Structure 1
Amino acid sequence: MKKTPSVKVLLIEDDEDDVLLAREYLSESEYYHFDVEWEPQPEKAKEKMVNGHYQIFLIDYRLGSENGLDLIKFAQDKGVITPCILLTGQGDLKVDLDATRYGAADYLVKTELNASILERSIRYALSQAGVIRELDEKEKKYRSLFERSIDPIFLANNDLKLMDVNDAFLKFFKYTEEEAHSITIREIFEQESDFDYFYKTLKDTEQIRDFEVILIDKNGEKKISMLNCVFIPDQISEFCCYQGIVHDQTLRKKAERDMLVAERLSMTGKIARTIAHEVRNPLTNLTLALEQLKDEMPPNNETVKLYSDIIERNANRIEQLIGEMLNSSKPKELNLQLSHVDEILEETIALAIDRMNLNQIRLERNFAADLPRVLLDKEKIKIAFLNIIVNAVEAMKPGHGVLKIDTQLSPYRITVCITDNGKGIPQDDIEKLFDPFFTDKQGGMGLGLTSTKNILNSHSAEVEVTSKLNEGTTFNISFKLAE
């Protein structure tokens, strides 16, 4: 019968007689040709186990200062998956159990050994090693995909405690590996209601797809994300039951919002230019005609004076509104200088302090120390801050209002937080807050916050608004630090 290719064997044995006996048994094989290399010294054997290319290790239990279990453990620790067969002079249940625990493929007693038993043990070990090697290659392949994914991936147990996460997850959520393994999925959700929906859907259908949700990192920073999670059946519950993938949508959503705001500002500009063209010409004629009429009318006629003043005042108001519309939508020309945000806030507060005092609003400042300067157009940023502060004052009840103005420093940004305890804004209205002509004030045009947004956009600043009805509103305005 034609023999299979050679099987390279490393025989780790310090008794020369046992080596001769093992060689003889192996030479009797009808199915394999065994290429046997003998190594009596454990230290040299370790080097060969790691660097050699063997298909099987035959290891004697007693090797002087070390035993065969030490070598098997060494191979396991080094990630060597070549099967190990432990040989011993006499049977010992404890050694047998330890050999299994350490990962030995088999445990053979020399006094019971013959060619058939040794060959069968090697055949089974090689077959098992092939399966293990295939699984190891697959594990390395999928581990590589897991680790190298640009999207955060997590594995969680039945209690939704995180069991394994990739590097992208750690970077995205700003956790260390140790910290990530101590939290549950619940802790990365901003809203309890979102987690409840996620958990119920997962339990009912064993999966959740394309769930758009706001997640938070270790520092509480919000991340607009697309979450997919699936139940993995036939897993040991202590290790893993659920696999999830998080796709960051924050930049895409921000780009969409910025594009929408830009389109709305562009629309406002077109409307303003159309009105300016269609209204200003007849308005100018009306004003000129009024001036001419006033010159020809009796000077002491109170009725004439009353109505002519009404016409003039409203014509001027129309002219002013047209100017505000044009100003709110056109790109701002900036005079950028390195400026201290806290100084600009103090100057803005000084402009609004009379209004605060009139409404008996309590002001609370909490400015971070030693803030770096930021490239800003000081006068325009004061207008933006003032619009927000005035809106906050008008939203609070006189005598009960508290206005908080804070500054915070992060590695890349300075954030200004302006918070009131006023009537709040309905969630549906927050998205429209910076839209041209959107207002809930009687007689207001709804262009103040549009102009504010235009100013902040021109500074590449980000603004986020959060609000709860009857509790208050917070504007978070973030400026990039100067490079």
Structure 2
Amino acid sequence: MAIGKSEYNLGQDLIKVLLVDDDEDDYMITRDLLLDVEALEYDLDWISSYAEALDAIERNQHDIYLIDYRLGERDGMQLLNEALDGGCTAPIILLTGQGDREVDVEAMKAGAADYLVKGQIDHILLERSIRHSIERKALEREHAALEEQLLQAQKLESIGQLAGGIAHDFNNLMTPIIGYAQMGLTTLPEEYRERVYLEEILKAADRATNLIQQLLAFSRRQVVELQVIDLNSLLVNIDMMLQRLIGEDVELVILPSENLGAVKVDPTQIEQVVVNLAVNARDAMPEGGTLIVETSNIEFGEEELKNHPDMAAGPYVMFAVSDTGHGMSEEVKAHLFEPFYTTKEKGKGTGLGLSTCYGIIAQNKGYIWVYSEIGSGTTFKIYLPSLDVIPQGTERPSGTKSNELPRGSETVLLVEDEEQVRELAARVLRQQGYTVLQASNGVEALSIASRHADGEIDLLLTDVVMPLIGGRELSIKLRDIHPNVRVIYTSGYTDEAVIRHGMLKPGTDFVQKPYSLAGLTQKIRSVLDEPREVPATTS
């Protein structure tokens, strides 16, 4: 039952509330209180039994839970503990018929978002408690995500320091091994068969030295020779080598962007990154596939980077390496850049390829992000600071770019399963005048579209890869309800990668994540301003 009117936008258009109370009169009172709230729109569900409530909470389909302290023979405190132990992520407000300071303290210590006495609640207090509880929980999630990023960065930094120390000591050990083996070769006549043993020692030492160089790259202790270069030229110069490296079963596609910005990097190191990523992609496609290497300019504002506090706002040059392989699980991605971590068979890899890439990109003042899901391939995106200079052989377009974002008044259905990305896009579009309807998946989007069947939804802005219903299937079903809707797809994979996987057709309107605010709003305005095709008439 939807009640109330929306003015506050807590990142969504409808607050889904579950009331757990075994007294129908109390349910009616709570419903009437929410009816008096003009600031928020609610969808209120009511459950009276403990078992049904626990089952509903485990399904995690509500934004907030109101739980009565007394539930027959069991109490709300026990339900609160079971819900939190089961991984409930939504805030829980405990309700009681009479004020009890000890129960209040116990509830808050157990993890309740708030504690309200029924006889003392009015609609203002209830609305404020719900709003503050949801906002506080959102801030806690954002803090936890940033803390996890910091811990991951600190872990990699610690591993890097350890790897650098090991590499230093190992090099000291390898020096006499190589030196004495070479000395032995110079003193033994050519006809001595013992020379073969020394030559094998040197081959093994050479392989060990290469491993050490990769460890040094990860720990950022290699000597870099920085040059101002054009990445497009670098990629063109190594395309033949890449093709030989990946074999005939893998198609190589290089897509250089026009007017690409210059970067100041060690070109030899960047070549090594491309080669390592290409080899990794090849191994992920044992039956063949497509390897896509592409470049583009991108400018990040502070808002887009709030979940990446280590990155500075400004212009970047991006190059992406995408494959159509088997993809990676979340567990694999969590350890991806750790030295010696590998999912390959014994003897098929050292586990240093991606950790080397991480170290090289960090040493060149850049950043590396990965997008991957099982069955959907993998995309590595590398961002390098763009310089305000023109590499030799390139031209920069004339004219100046306006800082003002294009505005609109149309209705946009925004479908994105990553909450922080969804929040960002919705906030930006509302600031530019659009009406935004938000959904976290395709099923929810179709439900919202059905409720707005009498009104116009002008644009569907949807992620491509989502649980339940993918973006392409969603757009087909949505056109049954809103036949004139325009569609823009977004994804962490590049457009060429999703097209190669058959998820989208060539020529589809597409915005690649992470998108800039200007890029997103300009694309939306461009698509909405396109003239509609007029059906041909016959006389």
Report the TM-score, using the length of structure 2 for normalisation: 0.43
Q: Whose RCO is larger (CA < 8 A, sep 6+)?
A: 2
Report the TM-score, using the length of structure 1 for normalisation: 0.48
